[in-house]
Amino acid sequence: MVLKGYRAVTLENEKIRVTVLADKGTDIYEFLYKPRDIDFLWRSSLGLRSMTNYHPMAPVEEGDFLDFYEGGWQEMFPWGGQASVHRGVNTGLHGEVTLAPWDYRIEVDTPEEIVVTFSIRTRRAPFRLEKRLSVRRHEAALHIREVAKNESEQETEIVWGHHPAFGWPFLDDSCILDLPPCHIKVPATLDSTSRLAAEQEAEWPTAKLRTGGDVDLSRIPGPSARSQDLAFLYGFKEGWYALRSQSRSVGFGLAWDPQIFPWLWFWQLYRGGPDYPWWGNEYVAAVEPVTSMATRFADAIANGTAFKFAGQSTVSTELTAWAFEGAGPVSRVTRDGVEARS
């Protein structure tokens, strides 16, 4: 299948349909729960646009990521956050692989299971990344297994993470984010619409507001909030979250290894963000497992959270994303399923 000039691969069973843009960073463009016809992922007002014959009006330090950000779920590798210059290279916004075409091969295509392996060798950094996606019969789950290799002899700092962003029609003011116990850190405000106080640390889910008082971050506000914030969550003994809609009795759960991704970036864009690039138009919540804490890549170097990738070494990790039904609280998400709180 080709979408707007991009090779696209669909993994599908009775429960879910997952569409991956092989020619654009392996973006997960669609995560559809078929019994309810609900796509959890945000679609930006920009939409999916072809890169063919595109000439930027003017080069920007961050690169072209925002010119082609259609929403969905991105892989950030080997750098994440805003651009910095590190070891002689401009890291760009969210790294090197987000706009690049990946190779892929279909490993298994049977009624019982579909397995597709995507791979890329980065051009500006010395890495190879392989990502194996699979869906199994009767499971509303996407299983992800990744293997990253530093092909150089040199230890290199990276920021690696996943950037799933959720939006309408799934996201609304009935949504609740369930998490295991963790801490909140807000180093700074993002812009004039930020509602969270800067330089604060707190226990999930309560944070301090700039205007005084507290807010429960687990409860997603409606678009009338007109705010934009980025909170860093950490201290997980188990890596999981569940974002559930009480109005639709359906939700999305993600499980991951907190030893590899100990930070969760919680980007809250509730029709805030004036001017470029959001213009106050977007309503989105992104909940992103990442190796490090960084608004800019250089932040991770400065605060010591950059992942130090040893030369000639390999790192493997697994994630599992679930669609589930039910409006009640979730006690846990694992590779085996979503557990409701009793």
pLDDT in tens, 101-126: 999 999 999 999 999 999 999 999 99
For residue 7, give Cα distances in angstroms to 97, 100, 182, 242: 15, 12, 39, 30
At 168 the pLDDT is 94
Say which residues have a Cβ less than 8 Å from residue 336's Cβ, sequence separation at least 6: none
Rounded CA-CA distance 96/75 in Å is 10
The full length of the chain comes to: 342
Q: How many angstroms separate the Cα of 87 from the Cα of each of 51, 58, 126, 281, 308?
A: 28, 25, 12, 36, 13
The whole-angstrom separation of Cα 10 and Cα 30 is 9
pLDDT of residue 220: 98
Predicted local confidence at residue 195, as pLDDT: 97
Query: For position 103, what pLDDT does the model report?
Result: 98
Q: What is the pLDDT of residue 281?
A: 96
Q: Within 10 A of 329 (CB to CB), how many other CB atoms are there?
A: 13
Q: In the prediction, which pLDDT does 77 show? A: 98
Q: How far apart are CA 269 and CA 254, in angstroms?
A: 20
Q: What is the pLDDT of residue 183?
A: 98
For the chain, list residues with pLDDT below 70: none
3-class state of residue 111 by DSSP: coil
- How far separated are the first and last CA of the chain, in Å rounded? 43
Please report the pLDDT score of residue 342 as a whole number: 74
306, 310, 313, 314 alpha-carbon torsion, rounded to 10°: -10
Give pLDDT tens digits for 190-248.
999 999 999 999 999 999 999 999 999 999 999 999 999 999 999 999 999 999 999 99
Sign of torsion over alpha carbons 284, 290, 293, 299: negative
Report the C-alpha gap between 161 and 179 in whole angstroms: 18
Give CA angle at 48 (64, 263), nearest 5°.
65
Per the structure, the count of domains in the chain is: 1
Q: Which of 119, 128, 117 is nearest to 156 (CA)?
A: 128
Asked if 317 and 290 count as a contact pair (C-beta separation under 8 A), the reply is: no
Structural domain of residue 334, as residue ranges? 2-340
Domain with residue 246: its CATH number is 2.70.98.10
CB–CB of 227/193 below 8 Å?
yes
Stated pTM of the model:
0.97
**Rounded-to-integer distance, Cα 299 and Cα 155, Å:** 18
Short-list 194, 221, 217, 220, CA closest to 204: 217
Residue 114 has which token pair?
Answer: 């579909």
Cβ neighbours, 10 Å, residue 328? 14
Q: Which of 276, 16, 252 is nearest to 134 (CA)?
A: 16
* The pLDDT of residue 257: 98
